């Protein structure tokens, strides 16, 4: 098994006719993902990779009644309408790859998702992958040497690049991944660490969970509370950004959500919260595989 993506996943690509949409469509098909069709308003009737393009998600849903997932690759100011259109069509999962989505739009998307019982990953997500089964978005490939590999370790990261790098470290040590999810690093996230942890906990294929965390916000602290109360599987974490505490105030670093004010959201505080919850926290990113092996032995 895996989380969020399986053999029943059927994807519509919103923005399929764009350069990035075409690229990601080709990549997902190569990975074994069932991509059903695409949507670009005004370009209905075209084809990409032999797949039909429609003017609306409603038309796409009429074409394929089993459609359940959307990946959004449209310009930032069009994301909110695209996401709401997908939710109105009854899709269960919406993965937003687009960066620079206005905060107010992201807030409205998250609120609407709660009303429609839809899970939103992103904005600024790199996507997700279940190695050997399929992927959604431009997260990378299990076919690339030493990157993703099938296994039993769940990985969650705010950073798209660190989804790949963390998985590469694990793969080199013989630790394959069940599912890797890039949640994005924006101020408002459709899905957080705490939202995904119960899914990995319930997944019989996942034996341990790795978190790649960052400074800013409170998502890690909230996850720590959940881990302490409900998560039985071992969790390993790395918190990036320790060096930022030595830098001057007002310096912009990393993702939009990496905001530290008056000591709140520091790496030190996040590490303490996670350690207090029983998480094995790596001092250095490359220490993660050794800690995972240690956790599995327990």
For the chain, the first-to-last Cα distance in angstroms comes to 23
Whole-number Å distance between alpha carbons of 234 and 294: 10
pLDDT of residue 259: 52
- Residue 198: Cβ within 10 Å count: 13
Whole-number Å distance between alpha carbons of 206 and 195: 16
Whole-number Å distance between alpha carbons of 91 and 104: 22
Q: 160-172 vs 288-297: helix axis angle to the nearest 10?
A: 60
* Closest C-alpha among 65, 71, 177 to residue 123: 71
pLDDT of residue 55: 98
pLDDT of residue 253: 52
pLDDT of residue 217: 85
CB 157 within 8 A of CB 182: yes
Q: What is the pLDDT of residues 236-255, one digit of tens each?
A: 999 987 655 555 555 545 55
Domains 10-121 and 127-297 share a fold: yes
Residue found by looking up tokens 């994301």 in the block: 79
> Is the peptide bond preceding residue 123 cis, with omega within 30 degrees of 0?
yes
The DSSP secondary structure of 24-89, one letter per residue, reads HHHHHHHTT-EEEEEE-TT-TT-EETTEEEESSHHHHHHH-TT--EEEE-S-GGGHHHHHHHHHHT
Please determine, looking at this structure, whether the domain spanning 10-121 carries the CATH number 3.40.50.10260: no
pLDDT of residue 212: 97
Whole-number Å distance between alpha carbons of 254 and 217: 13
| Spans in the chain with pLDDT lower than 50 | 252, 257-258
pLDDT of residue 1: 73
pLDDT of residue 286: 97
Q: Where are the domains of the chain?
A: 10-121, 127-297
CB 253 within 8 A of CB 247: yes
* Closest C-alpha among 192, 175, 62, 52 to residue 122: 192
> Is the peptide bond preceding residue 20 cis, with omega within 30 degrees of 0?
no
Catalytic residue among 63, 255, 285, 286: 255
Question: Is 255 an active-site residue?
Answer: yes
pLDDT of residue 57: 98
Q: Provide the 3-class DSSP secondary structure of residue 222.
A: helix
- Residue 261: Cβ within 10 Å count: 9
Question: Which class does domain 127-297 fall in?
Answer: alpha beta
């Amino acid at each position: 098994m895996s989380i969020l993506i399986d053999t029943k996943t059927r994807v519509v690509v919103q923005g399929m006719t764009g350069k990035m949409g075409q690229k990601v469509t080709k990549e997902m098909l190569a990975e074994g993902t069932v991509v059903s069709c695409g949507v670009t308003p005004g370009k209905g009737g075209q084809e990409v990779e032999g797949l039909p393009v429609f003017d609306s998600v409603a038309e796409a849903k009429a074409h394929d009644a089993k459609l359940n997932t959307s990946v959004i690759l449209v310009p930032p100011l069009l994301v909110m309408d695209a996401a709401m259109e997908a939710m109105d069509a009854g899709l269960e999962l919406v993965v937003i790859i687009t960066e620079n989505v206005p905060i107010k739009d992201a807030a409205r998307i998250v609120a609407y998702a709660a009303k429609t019982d839809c899970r939103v990953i992103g904005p600024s997500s790199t996507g997700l992958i279940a190695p050997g089964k399929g992927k959604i978005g431009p997260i990378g490939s299990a076919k690339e040497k030493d990157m993703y590999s099938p296994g039993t370790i769940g990985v969650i990261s705010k950073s798209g690049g660190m989804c790949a790098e963390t998985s590469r470290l694990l793969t080199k040590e013989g630790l394959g991944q069940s599912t890797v999810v890039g949640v994005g690093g924006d101020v408002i996230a459709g899905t957080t660490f705490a939202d995904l942890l119960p899914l990995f906990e319930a997944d019989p294929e996942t034996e341990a969970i790795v978190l790649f965390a960052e400074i800013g916000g409170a998502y890690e602290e909230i996850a720590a509370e959940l881990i302490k109360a409900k998560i039985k599987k071992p969790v390993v974490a790395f918190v990036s950004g320790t060096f930022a505490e030595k830098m001057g105030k007002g310096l912009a670093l990393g993702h939009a959500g990496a905001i530290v004010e008056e000591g709140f959201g520091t790496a030190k505080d996040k590490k303490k919260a996670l350690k207090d919850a029983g998480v094995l926290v790596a001092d250095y990113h490359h220490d993660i595989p050794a800690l995972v092996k240690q956790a599995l032995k327990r």
